Amino acid sequence: MLARQLATKSSTTAHKMMPRITYTTIRHGFLQSRRRCTNGWAAQAIGCWISLGFVLMFILSTADIIECSLRNVNLIIEPPAVRRGQHVILRCMYDLEGAPLYSAKFYRGQLEFYRYTPGEFPNTKVFPFPGIHVDVTSSNATQVLIRNVGFGLSGNFSCEVTADAPLFSTATALGTMQVVELPDKRPQLYTEYTRYEPGDVLRANCSTPPSRPRAELTFTINNMVISSSESQFIRTIDNLIASRISLKLQLQGVHFSSANSGVYSGRYGLNSIYSQDTPMYVPNPGGLILRCTAQIADLYQEYKDIELGTPQRDPVPARVTHSSGSSMKNFISSYFTTSAAQRCHNDALLTFLILAIATYLMTGSINKDITNSICSSSLNYRDSGHILVPRNCG
């Protein structure tokens, strides 16, 4: 019992030095015995060499014990990135190769906060450390459970394993823990307009709730990464960081392309399809799909999409030839469906038609001058492709 207490008070350095001292002593005795054997009589020399053989066997067996008594010491942190307020388990894995365990110690940096010693009662000891709350009931010789972790625990941890007497061999393993706070919502994405066409300027903003570490934001248009954006980071009272990114981009035809199996992420962008070193783009009939992606290393990734269509264009009137029997009907329809400039021209033509009809009703014939005026106006207007020429015109 006294020897164990003295061993408890000894340092790790002393434990590590004990095998070296033993080797030095044995080596010194071995060399002295060899000198005596070479200087003595034959019978004495035989006895000396036999003794040296036993000494050599002892050295080899001792070296094997030292080498095999403690192996494969590793520290595994589960999970390596833990959310603030959650719990984490530090697993110290080792192989004693049949040797008894003397102690297992856990450190945060250089300070010990937990120790397991099977030869003592109680077996476990917890040392005060700011922010470390050890669950003793879930901790033992190979693991420590820490509850309600905070940002202050991000950093290096280690476990130290020591085999029991007579060798007291010691090995240490290191591990790193990261305490994080992930965004509680998806990214928020806003644009100035809902419809765009080539040549328009796209303005957009994207932001994420505060987190730690900060989230990196990126814009993509139809899966093409857009690098011309500005990022901002805002630190909150509780030491979190909110991310914001702004985009101002003049849209080109390449932005209105859609990704397919021929996508190539080269110097022409993600939507380029190579054909004899010439980029080709497949039109996207749905317009633009703007995406904002928030990512924190390999811990977190979320995105928000907005589909931006192209403006609806007015249909171009077609050139249609009507029969003379429907001239008046088509003229009236054309009059009320054309633009203001066209209606101005129709007003003049309508005046001539009214005069012609009135003259015909009063005299039974149409004045030749009025007919020529109507035909002249009709021909001019026919060039615009909107009205028919009366049958009796030249």
DSSP structure string for 309-351: BPPPPPPPPP--PPPGGGHHHHHHHHHHHS-HHHHHHHHHHHH
Strand partners, 132: none
Q: What is the pLDDT of residue 189?
A: 96
Nearest CA to 101 out of 157, 145, 158, 167 is that of: 167
Q: What is the pLDDT of residue 78?
A: 95
Q: Which CATH code, of 2.60.120.380, 2.60.40.10, 1.25.40.10, 3.90.226.10, is assigned to 188-308?
A: 2.60.40.10
Q: Residues with Cβ < 8 Å from 363, sequence gap 6 or more?
A: none
Full strand arrangement of the beta sheet holding 155-163: 81-83, 170-180, 155-163, 101-108, 111-116, 124-126
Nearest CA to 258 out of 225, 282, 275 is that of: 282
pTM over cut 0.95: no
b (16+ CB within 10 A) / e for 90-119: bebebebeebebbbbbbbbeeebbbbbbee
With contact defined as beta carbons under 8 Å apart, do 57 and 156 qualify? no
Nearest CA to 281 out of 251, 252, 265, 257 is that of: 257
What residue segments make up the domains of the chain, in order of their start?
Answer: 2-68, 71-180, 188-308, 324-382
Give me the tens of pLDDT residue by residue for the chain, a chain 394 residues long. 334 444 444 434 334 444 444 444 455 555 565 555 555 555 555 666 566 565 556 555 555 555 556 788 999 999 999 999 999 999 999 998 888 999 999 999 999 999 999 999 999 999 999 999 999 999 999 999 999 999 999 999 999 999 887 778 899 999 999 999 999 999 999 999 989 888 899 999 999 999 999 999 999 998 889 887 888 999 999 889 999 999 999 988 888 875 433 333 333 333 322 333 434 444 455 578 999 999 998 899 999 999 987 765 544 454 444 444 455 555 555 555 554 545 555 566 666 667 767 666 666 555 555 555 555 554 444 444 444 444 445 4
Q: What is the pLDDT of residue 269?
A: 32
b (16+ CB within 10 A) / e for 324-356: eeebeebbeebbeebeeebeebbeebeebbeeb
Task: Establish whether domains 71-180 and 188-308 are of one fold.
Answer: yes
Q: What is the pLDDT of residue 173?
A: 96
Q: What is the pLDDT of residue 156?
A: 96
With contact defined as beta carbons under 8 Å apart, do 169 and 19 qualify? yes
- Tokens representing 357? 């009809």
Q: Which helix (H) or strand (E) holds 34?
A: helix 12-39
Q: What is the pLDDT of residue 379?
A: 46
Nearest CA to 92 out of 28, 175, 18 is that of: 175
Q: What is the pLDDT of residue 168?
A: 80
SS3 content of the chain, % helix, strand, coil (to 5): 30, 35, 30
**At the fourth CATH level, which superfamily is domain 71-180?**
Immunoglobulins (2.60.40.10)
Q: How far is CA 54 from CA 48, 119, 264, in A?
A: 10, 34, 73
